Amino acid sequence: MSDQSVFSGTRSGTIGGTLTIILANITITDLISTAVLAAVGAVVSFGVSLLLKVLLKRRRRAKATEKDE
């Protein structure tokens, strides 16, 4: 049983140290750039979705009018 507690302590120490270093290295600039890139990605994704929706509607309408003629 003592082996498990040693490994558990090593594991939690390693995870804690890794998280501390990661959090210490994240700057406000990194957070801002991440937020801006996420916002740009969301806007582009939304725009492309709308564009595809409009294009598909036009294509379906064109096919429907061709069948009617």
DSSP readout, 16-56? HHHHHHHHHH--HHHHHHHHHHHHHHHHHHHHHHHHHHHHH
pLDDT digits (tens, 9 = 90+) for 5-32: 556 788 889 999 999 999 899 999 999 9
Distances in whole angstroms, Cα of residue 37 to Cα of each of 3, 6, 20, 27, 29: 46, 42, 25, 16, 12
**pTM across the whole model:** 0.61
Tokens of 14: 């390693």
pLDDT digits (tens, 9 = 90+) for 29-54: 999 999 999 999 999 999 999 999 99
Tokens of 12: 């939690």
